[in-house]
Amino acid sequence: MTNQPQPVLERAGAPHVRRFQEQRWLIDNIIRANGIDWDQPRSLYLSGPCGIEASADFAGIRERVKKMADIGPAFEAVAQRREAKGRAAEADEALQTARENYFMAAIHWGAAQWPYDENGETNIAYNQKKRECYQKYAALADHRVEAVWIPFHDKALHAWFHLPPDYRSGRIPAVIAIPGMDSLKEISVALYGDRWLNRGIAVLAVDGPGQYEARMVGIPVSMENWMATGPALVDWLAARPEIDPDRIGIHGLSFGTFFGTIAAASEPRIRACAAMSTCLEPGHHTIFEEASPTFKKRFMYMSGFTDEAKFDQFRQSLTWEGHADKIRCPYLCVVGEHDELSPLTHAEQLVAALKGPKRLVIYQESRHSVGNVPAANLGPFPPILAADWMAARLSGKPLVSERWHVGSNGEIRKTAY
């Protein structure tokens, strides 16, 4: 096991984003009017892995958050309460209850980190609490959960390695789970009933370059770093006695779709790549210049920039062009018809550039976060569609290259590439 690197305290401060500074009053008014989910269904995707008991937590947070400054403290208060309940349950030897509360506490501590776009004392303290609570959950989990540090240049990437509850022996498939810009690896595997583990697939849930713990230990976003990520993760998985090195896939969510695509293009041992809620626009103008300025501020932190002009030059390097055509494994691309962060045309262009078998699935009326529209309720449920697709690919089933359009009535219109 690689030595655990420690978070690096930085004094440069948060990134300077002109629109964020000029529009802060507007962001606060939008939050007051629309709540914590003003830009993304944040409370939904954080709540989902926790199960039904967390619903009241998130309902209370939605009531409390009236401006951006409320977000960190609101999640911190709930995290403290859940952690205390976990400790009390553990003392009473109610270990299942302790497990559940430690898991929920870890998610809340991680969510509390989101507004802090710098490696300051608060962010580092929340990160430590997140790790402590998740480690306590891992010790009590209903399946094997292992904290791992994967060698990466002169540092290491942190990940959680999960094996299915019924795993006993032999080599099984694995999926590398890459979270989005605003999400964290701890939500990649659900507390109970996880879609990957239920299908007999192990999960390596990782914070890649620029994401949460990677950024905290000094590994920022860059094309070079993400090109090196695929080989590093596959090397680690291939060395595990539980994993079949010929059945490793990768799944990216939101900005993780871009990261996962670059990783897959750089590592031919990845046998399948799934991308959902895509961020595939070369240079990413729309998300950084037309969407909420919180996205740009967050990503500047992830890439190690405080100067906006320098970041604007850097972001032009963030493109799948010249990389996607190297991907030969099956590729799934699940997108919203009206994606406001990365217009549909960019997903269509990437899929057209792929040389291997591919499937583009478009959900009618959906925005960036695919779901919460009739097409996703009446048609294939997007996360399950991706899990079934990945399981089929890792079991060796062939893929017919097709474009699917899931209509608002749930019907699928298929056309061949």
Convert the pLDDT of each residue in 40-79 to its tens digit.
Answer: 899 999 999 999 999 999 999 999 999 999 999 999 999 9
Strand 358-363 versus strand 412-416 pairing type: unpaired
**Counting beta carbons within 10 angstroms of the beta carbon of residue 398, is it exposed (0 to 12), middle (13 to 18) or buried (19 or more)?**
exposed
DSSP 3-state of 48: helix
Q: Is the pLDDT of residue 375 over 70?
A: yes
Main-chain dihedrals φ then ψ at residue 190, nearest 5 degrees: -70, 155
What pLDDT score was predicted for residue 2?
59
Q: Is the pLDDT of residue 83 over 70?
A: yes
Match 């529009």 to its residue by tokens. Answer: 23
Residues 121, 107: Cα–Cα separation, whole Å: 19
What pLDDT score was predicted for residue 30?
95
Convert the pLDDT of each residue in 199-217 to its tens digit.
Answer: 999 999 999 999 999 999 9
Q: Is 48 left (phi over 0), alpha (psi -120 to 50) or beta?
A: alpha
Residues 343, 98: Cα–Cα separation, whole Å: 43
Convert the pLDDT of each residue in 115-171 to its tens digit.
Answer: 999 999 999 999 999 999 999 999 999 999 999 999 999 999 999 999 999 999 999
212: its two tokens = 């949460």
Residue 95: count of CB within 10 angstroms of its CB: 12
Instruction: Please report the beta strands in 304-406, taking only residues with DSSP state E, as ranges in sequence order.
Output: 331-336, 358-363, 402-406
SS (H, E, C) 193-241: CCCCHHHCCEEEEECCCCCHHHHHCCCCCCHHHHHHHHHHHHHHHHCCC
71-91 vs 95-113: helix crossing angle, rounded to 10: 160
| Residue whose C-alpha is closest to residue 205's, from 179, 232, 167, 173 | 179
